[in-house]
Amino acid sequence: MNKFLSKFSVFELIIIAMMAALGIATKPVVVPLAHIITGPLYIPGGAIAGGFYMMWIVLGAGLVRRRGTATLIAFVQAIMIIVTGVYGTHGIISIATYTLPGFMVDLILLITRGKKNLLLDCFAGGIAANLSGTFLSNLVFFKLPLIPLVLSLSSAALSGGLGGIIAFNIIKGFKKLNILGIER
């Protein structure tokens, strides 16, 4: 683990910690708002809200641009959730339900990075993060029937893609203003 962490600078580790914290802090604000829309449709609120709190995973990966960044952000979120017992805790299962979306973002970035299209990276990463999180949460907790599951996954893909586009625009703004020294 030490060898893995040594490839990140202290500044990058701070960005990773900030993105993990912002993702956790955003969830209790966004999920109740999403429940207003999803409740009557019997869709878990995280399917819609997930795109906006998983946006931080995509944003962190886009800012740091190193393999494993998204997985590390998501893993830090899982540890924070378990240790603090805050909103959305599912005990030790949180390691899987929180880390998988980060892993999926890293997998998408591994596949798409050669194309040098940051918008595509962010968009696909947001979709992958929210789809995987929604699917795994359904598998472990909700066990929705087929039609609500398809509606939930469709909503998750839309929300995740929008979160990815928001992350892209934030990264683009950082580049334009030369904030954080992002030139990559």
Cα–Cα distances in Å, from 75 out to 54, 87, 132, 155, 183? 13, 16, 15, 24, 26
From 110, 21, 102, select the one nearest 69 (Cα to Cα): 102
From 99, 123, 100, select the one nearest 112 (Cα to Cα): 123
| pLDDT higher at 104 or 88 | 104
Tokens encoding 5: 């962490």
Average pLDDT of the chain, as a whole number: 88
Q: What proportion of the chain, given as a percentage, has pLDDT over 70?
A: 94
The amino acid that residue 112 corresponds to is T
**Do residues 60 and 19 make contact, with C-beta atoms less than 8 angstroms apart?**
yes
Instruction: Give the chain's domains with CATH numbers.
Output: 9-181 (1.10.1760.20)
Burial of 66 from C-beta contacts in 10 A (0-12 / 13-18 / 19+): middle
Query: What residues are paired with 92 via a beta bridge?
Result: 90
Residue with tokens 């805050």: 86
pLDDT in tens, 1-55: 678 888 999 999 999 999 999 999 988 888 888 888 877 877 777 788 888 989 9
User: H or E stretch including 21?
Assistant: helix 10-38
